[in-house]
Structure formats: structure tokens, C-alpha cells
Structure 1
Amino acid sequence: MTGRENMIWVDREAKKIKERNLPLEWVDDMKTPSGRIHVGSLRGVIVHDLIYKALKQIGVNTKFSYVFNDMDPMDGLPTYLDKNKWEKYMGFPLYKIPSPEKGFKSFADYYAQEFIEVFNSLNCHPQIIWSSNLYKSGKMNSLIKLFLDQAEKVREIYKKVAKTEKAKNWFPYNPICEKCSKIGTTNVYKWDGEYVYYRCEYHMVEWANGCGYEGKVKPINENGKLPWKLDWPAHWKVIGVTVESSGKDHMSKGGSYDMAVHFCKEILKIEPPDAMGGYEWFTIGGKKMSSSKGIGSSAKEVSQILPPDIFRFMQVRTPIKTHLDFNPYGETIPNLFDDYDRLMNSYFLKIENKLPKEKAGEVQANFARIIELSEVSPLPKVRILLLRFRTIVNLLNNSKDVFEFFKNQKGNPLSLVEKNLVEERIKYAKIYIKNYETRQENKTVDFIPNDLQKKFLQTLAKSLKKLKTETKEDIKHAVFSAIKENNIKPKEAFTAFYQTLIGKPFGPKAIDLILQLGLNKVKNIIDI
């Protein structure tokens, strides 16, 4: 496979980036740790991790970092924090607000460390960069001065690109107020080449009140920061970022990225990073995430619903331009496991050198590639029994021995890898059953089989009664013989089968379901 059209999305993007032939491709992502970081932000981390790894695998010199913008002000109070205790910090830089729990340097550090733990568990290990450290170290000083010296040009870009008119005495810098310590309420109205002159405004923003103090300060180190739309490209230049994508809300015409591109080219004199056109949102049940408002679910909470490799798989298989919505209720999770297992089979074909030829082989190779990029723990080097999640759920719901079932299915004792997989899937099946399984969903309460479906079920019941052994092959033969004998379409037959047995139009493999419920029980139910 040499053509881009035969690659999955991440490999196509990596190949395109490689063609630039830069001495170093620095991949980066950023987030403001203003509260529990929500699961939607994991899409950015995984997208950038995938690009970094794909570049590395094709011989590109590359680095991967993650910036926490902890100099940003607290501009929204998380709903899960006590307003009486925390409202006084609105407008403070996040790195100067105390941590909600002991053992952390700051508010920002507390929520950032929780997020780091989550994305590390998904096999993402970027270099962590703290924005406050870049400012403290003086690395941002020359760029702050550059933007202040060219304030008129900055105002022109705001007007031209964002259609925002800035006053002639507006300057692109937010000092930390020397009296009240807020950064979100200060407004610079004069720059003399050495000092900025500012007011801490009472009503500049809706989410915080300034103290009215007026003063002057040198715009260096941690005395303040650049506004976000200049802060972002300044980070790119200081770090050396060459690849950074973003959610589509930042990628619109006149948006943050568009502004940053103009600042890069017209003032910083650098090429902006390749944003790959931006990426679509990752939502939960259709809701976009917000860290401070508590909308959706936190990255930590959602990451506990699925095993890390399945969660990562969900992200890897979804192209960067495709909106990913995850609704954990109903059949979503069992279907996701089924999809993973199906692609795992392609991976096994690849390591066994059994991929089919031509187009079919290309498709299977892409499936195998998705599995390889979804790796968290080392992938097995030999084929193992794929222990179906949906089957485990049904076994647990019917109080059956899961290990014994799969041992009988295999015909041999389970290997250590298979036993560990069963244990992991039992753990997540119990979470699914307790919180997300909706057994009545899609159930037809008054399902009445038609005459042909009745004949099929009766034929199957008779065939099952005649069985002398309960092997999978014998049961399979009985099922498909009943379909053939009654000349019924398989879909119509299986709909009647599942509706009669479990009240839904679909379910685990018919043979597995019969074994799970027990032959005698099935015979009695379907003999209508």
C-alpha cells in the first residue's frame, strides 16, 4: 500500500507532514485547567499522540508536548465547588489559586494532574509544559515587548480578521493586579517602552469584579500575560511548535486559529503550525464539553466506563473530520467491543501473514493498523480466543460461570492472556450492567411472530429436542437447518428467535445464547 487513499487518516496526515522535510516536527496540544477536564478534551490529546507516533514510525524527527495554560484567569466557577468559598478567586490566575485538595501546588495543578493520569492510562505520554513556567523564566518577555511595540498592528489584525474594534489606548497585555492579584480584570491603557500602565476595572468582565487600582509594571516574567489570541501563537514560537490542531470552534473564519495565523505571519514572522484542518468534537450524548460548567462527564469518569484500549480504539477509528458522539446507554458499548474484536481478527491475520490479496487485503490491513494504534498494553503476538463482551454480559445476567463457558467454547484451558482478558471484561461488563444496560430498549412488548416465524421456531424446537449432544456444531446445524427447511429469510428468523427469547430484535450469537440460557429452557420457550 503506497497511495494515500489506502491509508487510514492518521497515516495520510503524517505522510503529508513528512513531505515538508522539516528538521523537527514538534506536535503540541493545550488546555486551560479550569476545573475537571472533560472527556471531549481527550480527543485532542489522542489526535496529537497518533500524529506524533505515526511521524515517528516513518522516520521523522519529532517531539510531543502538552501545555497547561495555568496563567489563564478563573473565568467560570465549577458547579461542584462551594460558591461561598471559591467565588473570591474569580479572575485570579489559575496557578495562584489554592488546590481543592492537599498535596497539589495549585488549583491548576490539581485538575491538570487528574487529566494527566487519564491520558497516561491511554498510552499518551507527552512532555508537560506549564505556561506559568514559560512566563516566569522570561522566555515570553521578548514576544510580549514585540506585541506591545506593534500594538497598532495588533489592533489592525483584530479589526481585519475578527471584525473587533479595539480602542487606540488598548494594549495587548494583562498584568496581575498588584493590589487584588487578579489578572482577568486588568486593562492596559499606556505603554512607554518599559512600563505598562493599567487599571483593575470594576466591570470589565461579567465573571469577576476588579478593585479599581491603578498602577504601572514592567511587562516581564510572571507580572502578567498576553491575551489568549496572542498567547497561543507566542507559545508556538517559544516552544517551536510545527503541528497543532484544535476543535472546530477555534478553526472558524475570524476565530482563534485564524487570528493566530495572522499574528504568526505579520508580527512573529514564523509559519503557523499545521492544524490539519482542525478536528470535530467528541461529545457525550450530543453534548459538547465544558470544564468549568460541569457539562457532560469528566475525562476521569468516562475513562472508567471502558478499558483503555477500547476507549483509545473508539478515537483511533474515527477520522479527524468526523464528529464522535458516545452514548454509553443501550447497545453502544457491546457494539463497540464487537467492532474491536472484528478488527482484532484482522490484526491476527496480519501477524499470521494471512491477509487476503488486493483490495480486501488493503481493507484488512487498515483494520489491523487501527488496532496497532489503539495499543495500550502490549498486543498478543499469537491469536487468542476473542471473548465476546456481549456474551459475558448475558452470562452474568443469567448467573452463569463465565470462565467455564469460555473454556468449553475453546475446548482447552484458557491461556493466561485469555484469563486476564476475561477478568477485565467481567469488570467492565458489571459496570455496563449496573449503569448503562437498558434491557427494555428496542423491546417489542407484544411481539407476535407471523405464521412463517412460528413454523421456524417450532421446527427449531423439535430439532433441539432431538439433539443427543450439545456441541456448538450440532446446535448451529439445527438452527440453519430450520431456516432452510422453512425457506425463511435469516433476518426474519433471527428477529423471531431473539424477540421470543430476550425481548429484543438482536442479541449475542444464536448458538452462544442457546448455550447461555440452557438447551431445555430454550426448547420450552420457542415451542409455541
Structure 2
Amino acid sequence: MSEQYRIPSSPLPKAWPFEEAAKLAAHVGDRAVSVERPVLLETGYGPSGLPHIGTFGEVARTSWVRQAFGAITGKPTRLLAFSDDMDALRKVPDNVPNQDMLRQYIGRPLSRVPDPFGTHESFAAHNNARLQAFLDSFGFDYEFASSTAYYEGGRFDAALKRVLEVHDEIVAVIAPTLGAERRATYSPVLPIHPRTGQVMQVRMDAIDPVAGTVRWTDEDGETFETPVTGGHAKMQWKADWAMRWYALGVDYEMSGKDLIDSVRLSGKICRILGGRAPAGLTYELFLDENGQKISKSKGNGISVEEWLRYAPPESLGQYMFNAPQRAKRLFFDVIPKATDEYLANVTRALAAQKADDPALWANPAWFIHAGHIPDNAGSPITFGMLLNLASVANAETPDVLWKFIQRYDADATPTRDPMLARLVDHAIVYYADFVRPTKQYRAPEGKERAALSDLAEALRGMDAATATPDDFQNLVFEIGKRHGFEPLRSWFGCLYEVLLGQKEGPRFGIFIALYGAGETVALIEAALTRSMSQATQS
């Protein structure tokens, strides 16, 4: 990281990436670190499917730890995005073409399965390209690594021979975790069948650490002697993970809560090999709208592409930054809150950046923008407010919202306010898909009618051209108190439910300033008329 981003290491800013960076610094200790041998952080990717929101989360979070570590130590680092493309194809994904063709290759390494899309030399190459394009689109600084290239290119040869030297010790670690049938044949070595190309899970008849070979027998009774080097074999995944940590000297890798036991076992194997397991964070899993664990096979979550349809990528970064060790719902209704939380953090971060305030370093926006927040990263209007404007105006095009925005701020333009322009476009789509179908207006009751009438009358008497959002807000407060709303939030609940058709809403003074005093009066009158009509009909 550039010297301009160096910050004091004590006291550490109060943000979880700095806590992780301190763990990493302790792990590295006094080890010599140089550009030639930097501190290595790693993320893993299984290319049996396309990159997903969990992939984004892991790379983003690891990048933030890397940023914090560089800021407090100044030591060089690498981030390796490692693709496990030597893994066997276990089943045919539902969302790819040429599925009958793929079924012929079940059991073979993904890098030796033809690309069903017909654009790359293998299925793994296709998904690896998608991964890199995906990560590049977010501007991540990383190096891509292919398991196949490392196995076939000899990068793992020495480590693989070391596996043979301690083969029985590794088996002793893993075997107790297996069922009786698998335990009887388990070996960390999975040879590639020389004729069928299958990744074989078979008992080893003999291990030769000196020659670097294993002898095994296939289901037809034919015996083979296979070198473990040069891509002729791969490791079972827990052993593979440990072997990679050992071979590459990985210093940091985070993983999900569902892999706690696997991390523990792989750490034991790494130590048996003579290495040291990396430092890392165990992050919680995402939950769907019903509180169930997100599953790619169930499709019960939200994809990156879906999120980016409704909000900018910075908002997804904010969502991923928040409390990684706490389980969180990942559904469409979290998007507006994450977006406005990002905008609030940007406002604070820009002020801290201008004032050289150390509070900047604990701000999520400092991480999301890789150490420097552009002046135009924020928006003068929140996403939630834009959604409310879209709702009352029934907006179907951005022009409708810009009419209100420019009356509120005559200088606002898409060029001057690029984030606002993006939010306007997203708000139109989010409103159409999620807000409009769920709106439910209720009729005002008792004193609510009188209070609404008073608010409309007061707004008619105000000089809207000179009134500020605070003037409007104070007026709303005053009328609520005058009519005896206790607690006062029940008055605001009335405004939201009667006028906007929703349970929650914006700071109402700002809403009036944006929507217009006259338009708000018309909104109140329409609600009162609608309720009178409903009462007459009943």
C-alpha cells in the first residue's frame, strides 16, 4: 500500500478489518517480508458454477483485511484468488447448456471437461474467465491462480512428495471423521485414471515417497502406478487445502462457519506437513427471507446481478462490511437500508478525509473506496427518499424524479451528482418491482383526519419558496403535538400509512421540500377524499 495510507498501529481504528490485520501481523511476526516474498492472503473458488455473492463477499472482505494490514505495517502483500479447477465434476449444473454432453464427463477434473458454452477450452476455463471478469468489474486487486496449472506445472511437486512421506499420519487425522465404508479406502491422494480421466477415490496398495508414486487398483481389478506429481493426481479437498497452505506459505484465509471443522482438520494436516495454518476469520452465513441458510442449489437468496439491478456496487460492499461474524438476511428488502447506510458513511468519511480526522480509517467507505473517497461518491438525497418520491409520483422514468430533485436543488445534474443519477435509475426499477406491488393505504381515523387537515392548511399558508426542510419538519412536529399524538411517532406512522401506503418513511420535512408543499397538500386532500368515499360506500 502506498506510503500516504500508512496509519499508526496503536491504537488501532475500531473496525473489524484492523482486528484481523493485527491477527495477521502477529501471525507473520518477525519473518522477513519482501516484494519477492510478500505476505500472502488467499481466497478460494470452486469453478463448478458461476461466481456468486459469497465469492464477492470473501474477496471483498479479504481485500479489506489486506488494506488494513498494509496501512498499519507497510509490508507488501499479495491476494491470490485460487480456483480449485482440478476438482471433479460431481453433477451437471441446472443452468448450463449441453447437459447430456456434460454427463459423459462426470468424475473428471473440471479443467478436463469440455466447455458446454463452446467458448473456452474447458468448463473450468469458462468459469474461471467469468470469475476474473466478475472480480475485475469491482476493481479488486488480486492475482488469479489455477489449481490445474499449479499441479501440472510442478508448483506442488515437493509438497505432494511430502504428503507421501506423512501419508499415514494424514489418514489418521481424517479417518475418524468418515463413515466406515469410506474410512476403509480413504487416502488423501486421488490419482487420475490414465485411461478414463476420472478422479479416483481408491485405496492405496503402496506408497513410495522416494519415487513419488502410488500404486492402486481400479474397479476392474487393473493395477496402476501413478506419480503424484505433474498433474497425474490431486489431493482430497481437506488435504488439498492443507497442502496448498504448506506449499505456498499462505498467511491468511477466511472461511464460512460451515467449514469450521474442515479448517481445524486442514490445519492439523498442514502442521503434519511441516507448515503452519494461516490466520483467518470465520464468517457467518447468509440467511434468506425466512431465516434459512442461503443455498445455491435451492436458489433461495439473491445474486450479485440481482443486487446490482437495484442498487450500486458500493451498497453491496457496505452490506458485506457490516458484522461479518453475525448471520444476516440476504434478501431484496435489505438493499435500501444498505444503500443509505453507505451514503451516510460517505458523508462522514468525506468530512473526515478533508479534516485529516483519524475517524476516517474506521469508516466502511474508506475500505469500500480502497483508501480514498472521491468527492462525488455520495448523494445529496437518500435512496429511501428517492423511493418515496417514486412512490407518490408513480414514477416510471428518471425524468419524473429529476423534476422534483431540480426544484429542490436547481444545480443538481447527473454530471455533477453521478451517484445520485445512478440511484435515480435504481429507484425507478426497485419501486416498480417491490414498492408499487405492496402499497396498502389506510384511511385516517379520528383525530388523524383533523391533524391532516391542519397540516394541509398550514402548508397552504407557508411561503414554500423560502421554507427549509427544517421549517417543514418543525411544522409537522408542531401539528402532531397540537393534536395530542402520544407517542409522537404515531403521528408519523399516520403520515406514512395514509399518504405513502407504507409502514415506514422518510424524514417528512425533507420529503415535503422535495415533493413540494403544494403537491403534499394535494396528496393529503386526495387521501381525505378517498377515505370519505370509502366511508360512504361502507
CA–CA distance in structure 1, aligned partners of residues 528 and 428 of structure 2: 32
Deviation at 1:191, TM superposition (A): 2.5
| Deviation, structure 1 residue 180 | 1.4
Corresponding position: 1:264 with 2:263: no
Say which SS state the counterpart of residue 504 (structure 1) adopts.
Answer: coil
Q: Residues 505 and 164 (structure 1 numbering): CA distance in 2 closer, same or farther, change over 3 Å?
A: closer
CA contact (8 A) 1:73 1:94 kept: yes
Deviation at 1:135, TM superposition (A): 0.6
TM-score (norm 2): 0.83
Mapping 1:61-100, distance limit 5 Å? 61-81=76-96, 82-100=98-116
Partner residue, 1:188: 204
- Given candidates 16, 34, 40, the residue that maps to 2:23 is 16
Distance 1:183 1:291, change over 3 A: farther
Structure 2: gaps spanning 5 or more residues:
1-7, 530-538
The residue identity in structure 2 corresponding to 1:148 is: L
- Contact 1:351–1:382 (CA<8 Å) still a contact in 2? no
Aligned to 1:333: 335
- Aligned counterparts of 1:63 and 1:435: Cα–Cα separation in 2: 41
**What residue is the counterpart of 2:535 in the other structure?**
none
Q: Distance in 2 between matches of 1:174 and 1:284?
A: 36
2:501 to 500, 503, 516: 503
Q: CA deviation at 1:304?
A: 4.2
> Are the structure 2 counterparts of residues 525 and 347 from structure 1 closer, same or farther at C-alpha, using a change threshold of 3 Å?
same
Q: Which residue of 2 aligns with 1:225?
A: 234
Aligned position for 2:374? 380
Match of 1:33 among 47, 50, 55: 47
Q: Displacement of 1:241 after TM fit?
A: 0.6
User: Structure 1 stretch 74-83 or stretch 371-380: which is displaced more?
Assistant: 371-380
* 2:508 maps to amino acid: A
- Superposed CA deviations along residues 379-419 of structure 1, whole A, max 9, x for unmatched, are 3337965222223334444236322322232243548341x
Which one scores higher on RCO, CA 8 angstroms, separation ≥ 6? 1
What is the aligned partner in structure 2 of residue 208 from structure 1? none
* CA distance in structure 1 between the partners assigned to 2:141 and 2:451 by the alignment: 55
**In structure 1, what is the equivalent of residue 533 of structure 2?**
none
2:61 paired residue number: 47
Provide the C-alpha distance between the structure 1 equivalents of 2:370 and 2:425, rounded to a whole number of angstroms: 17
Q: Distance in 2 between matches of 1:384 and 1:41?
A: 26
* Deviation per residue, 1:508-527 (Å, 9 max, x gap): 33234445371441241355
Question: Given the superposition, is the C-alpha separation of residues 38 and 463 from structure 1 closer, same or farther in structure 2, using an over 3 Å criterion?
Answer: same
| Alignment counterpart, residue 143 of structure 1, candidates 149, 156, 159 | 159
1:420-466, Cα deviation, whole Å (9 max, x unpaired): 2232112222331343336426x4x5554342x33322221221222
Deviation by residue 1:281-315 (Cα, 9 ceiling, x = unmatched): 23443454555675645444444443111111111
Q: Which residue of 1 aligns with 2:5?
A: none
Tell me how far apart the structure 1 counterparts of residues 368 and 279 of structure 2 sit (CA, whole Å): 24
Query: Are 2:391 and 1:393 equivalent residues in the alignment?
Result: no
**SS at the partner of 1:416?**
coil
Classify 1:299/1:486 alpha carbon distance in 2 versus 1 (closer, same or farther; 3 Å).
closer
In structure 1, the residue matched to 2:525 is: 524
Which range moved further: 375-384 or 239-248?
A: 375-384
Q: CA deviation at 1:183?
A: 0.8
Partners of 1:377 and 1:243 in 2: how far apart?
Answer: 21
Compared CA separation, residues 105 and 429, structure 1 to 2 (3 A): farther
Quick one: which of 136, 140, 157 aligns to 1:120?
136
Partner of 1:425: 423
Note the alpha carbon deviations across 1:191-227, whole angstroms, 9 max, x for none: 34533223344xxxxxxxxx77543322221111011
Q: What SS does the aligned partner of 1:437 have? A: helix
2:388–2:500 CA contact under 8 A, matched in 1: no
Q: CA deviation at 1:147?
A: 1.8
C-alpha contact 2:381 2:420 (8 A) present in aligned 1: yes
The corresponding residue for 2:536 is none
Query: Are the structure 2 counterparts of residues 394 and 121 from structure 1 closer, same or farther at C-alpha, using a change threshold of 3 Å?
Result: same
CA distance in 2, matches of 1:131, 1:60: 27
SS at match of 1:65: strand
CA displacement at 1:478 relative to structure 2: 3.3
Query: Is the aligned partner of 1:157 residue 2:173?
Result: yes
The alignment's TM-score, normalised by the length of structure 1, stands at 0.85
Give SS of 2:44's match.
strand
Of the three residues 448, 452, 456, the one matched with 1:457 is 452
Change (3 A) 1:119 1:377: farther
Residue 68 of structure 1: how far off its partner (Å): 0.1
| RMSD value, Cα | 3.0
Farther-moved stretch of structure 1 (401-410 vs 58-67): 401-410
The CA deviation at 1:48 is 0.9
Q: 1:99 to 1:377 in 2, by over 3 A?
A: farther
Label 1:309 to 1:138 Cα distance change in 2 as closer, same or farther (>3 A). Answer: same
Name the amino acid aligned to 1:410: D
Q: Output the CA distance in 2 between the equivalents of 1:114 and 1:124.
A: 14
Change (3 A) 1:41 1:287: farther
**What is the letter of the counterpart of residue 285 of structure 2?**
W
Residue in 1 aligned with 2:3?
A: none
Please say which of residues 340-349 and 481-490 is displaced more in the overlay: 481-490
| Compared CA separation, residues 301 and 389, structure 1 to 2 (3 A) | closer
Q: Would the alpha carbon gap of residues 159 and 182 (structure 1) be closer, same or farther in structure 2, given more than 3 Å must change?
A: closer
Q: Whole-Å Cα distance in 1 between the matches of residues 186 and 342 of structure 2?
A: 54
> How far did 1:148 drift?
2.2
Distance 2:18 2:522 in 1: 51
